[in-house]
A and B are shown apart, each in its own frame.
Chain A
Amino acid sequence: AQSVTQLDSQVPVFEEAPVELRCNYSSSVSVYLFWYVQYPNQGLQLLLKYLSGSTLVKGINGFEAEFNKSQTSFHLRKPSVHISDTAEYFCAVSLNPYSGGSNYKLTFGKGTLLTVNP
Chain B
Amino acid sequence: NAGVMQNPRHLVRRRGQEARLRCSPMKGHSHVYWYRQLPEEGLKFMVYLQKENIIDESGMPKERFSAEFPKEGPSILRIQQVVRGDSAAYFCASSPPNRGLADTQYFGPGTRLTVL
Q: A: which residues have CB within 8 A of B? A: 4, 6, 32, 36, 41-46, 49, 51, 90, 92, 94, 97, 102-111
Chain B interface, number of residues (Cβ within 8 angstroms) = 30
Query: Which residues of B are found within 8 Å of A36, using beta-carbon distances?
Result: 107
In the complex, are the beta carbons of B45 and A105 less than 8 A apart? yes
In the complex, are the beta carbons of A106 and B45 less than 8 A apart? yes
Q: B: which residues have CB within 8 A of A? A: 3-4, 6, 31, 33, 35, 40-45, 48, 56, 58-59, 91, 93, 95, 99, 101-110
In the complex, are the beta carbons of B42 and A4 less than 8 A apart? yes
**Complex formed: what's the CA distance from A84 to B115 in Å?**
33
**Nearest-neighbor residue (CB-CB) of A108 within chain B:** B42
**CB contact between A43 and one of B45, B58, B106 (< 8 Å): that residue:** B106
**Nearest-neighbor residue (CB-CB) of A46 within chain B:** B104
What's the minimum C-beta distance from A2 to chain B, rounded to whole angstroms?
Answer: 11
What's the minimum C-beta distance from B98 to chain A, rounded to whole angstroms?
Answer: 13
In the complex, are the beta carbons of B4 and A43 less than 8 A apart? yes
**Complex formed: what's the CA distance from A78 to B106 in Å?**
23
Query: Which residues of A are found within 8 Å of B40, using beta-carbon distances?
Result: 110
**Complex formed: what's the CA distance from A2 to B4 in Å?**
27
In the complex, are the beta carbons of A51 and B101 less than 8 A apart? yes
In the complex, are the beta carbons of B109 and A110 less than 8 A apart? no
Query: Which residues of B are found within 8 Å of A42, using beta-carbon distances?
Result: 109
What's the minimum C-beta distance from B29 to chain A, rounded to whole angstroms?
Answer: 13
* Contact status of A111 and B42, CB under 8 A, knowing A49-B102, A102-B56: yes
Query: Which residues of A are found within 8 Å of B91, using beta-carbon distances?
Result: 43-44
In the complex, are the beta carbons of A43 and B42 less than 8 A apart? no
Query: Which residues of A are found within 8 Å of B58, using beta-carbon distances?
Result: 105
Query: Which residues of B are found within 8 Å of A45, using beta-carbon distances?
Result: 107
What's the minimum C-beta distance from A36 to chain B, rounded to whole angstroms?
Answer: 7
In the complex, are the beta carbons of A104 and B99 less than 8 A apart? yes
Query: Which residues of B are found within 8 Å of A43, using beta-carbon distances?
Result: 3-4, 6, 91, 106-110
